[in-house]
A and B are shown apart, each in its own frame.
Chain A
Amino acid sequence: MLQLPEASSATEVRAFDRPLVMVPVFALIAAVGGLFPSFTSGANLLVHAIGGTMFWLGISGRAGRRPVPSRLPRSAGWWLVPLLLMALTELWAFLHTPDPNYPTLSLLLDPVLEGYLPRAVAYFAWLGGFWVLVRR
């Protein structure tokens, strides 16, 4: 069993940290983010503006934090099964670059993310995941 040197504790939860507030905000950002195709300045600017803001919020703790466990049970290892499968597959494909018969995950997802709706949905998922991490 793993143990941290010091246990983390929760800090104040901000008033805006409610689904009623955050979901529309993220939906709006995702709707805008879906408009910018890859390899454009707009896409880069938006991702880095959002990423930088979230990163700052996460490091500074200004968004408040939820309590985190000081120990993890061994059952946490079950997460490694699909993650290792994907990581090894990615590595296998990456080692064969640039052979198109061995596509990496990003090459497989690029055609999917070209459409506006899947791109906006993926953007929303990325933002939601970021917020979960920021609040931890």
Chain B
Amino acid sequence: MKTVIASLFALGFLGLAFIAWLSHRDAAEQRVVPAGAAEGAESGPGGVAGPAAARGRGRGIPRFSDIAGFVMAYRVGRVPLGRIAVLGSWWWVGWHFFAR
């Protein structure tokens, strides 16, 4: 069972690396594609098209930092709840793996 779990984690890391690679490639392509060409190119896991199709249609996968930035912009009143949650989570990750 240990091997199965380790393999699933490895698969997850590989998936993250693949999506990260796709998103950076998309971001690089979008820097040279006119803004109008990116319209109407949404896709997702619920759609019929895959990540490659999303890329090919001009919109592409957002980078993880864009998603993090989107979440971090969430506020409740004047409290930057998203920012506190994301930065706090990353702080905890460091503590959990390097110190606890």
- A residues sitting closer than 8 Å to B (CB atoms) are 1-2, 4-8, 33, 36, 38-40, 43-44, 46-48, 50-52, 54-55, 58-59, 66, 68-70, 72-83, 85-86, 89, 92-93, 100-103, 105-106, 108-109, 113, 119, 122-123, 126, 129-130, 132-134, 136
0/1 per residue, B27-57, Cβ < 8 Å to A?
Answer: 0000000000000011111110001001000
State which of B6, B47, B69 has its C-beta within 8 Å of the C-beta of A108: B6
B interface residues, how many (CB within 8 angstroms): 55
Query: B15–A123 contact, CB under 8 A?
Result: no
Q: Which 7 A-B pairs have the closest CB atoms?
A: A82-B15, A68-B69, A74-B44, A86-B12, A136-B69, A51-B91, A43-B99
Partner of B2, one of A7, A51, A102, A113: A102
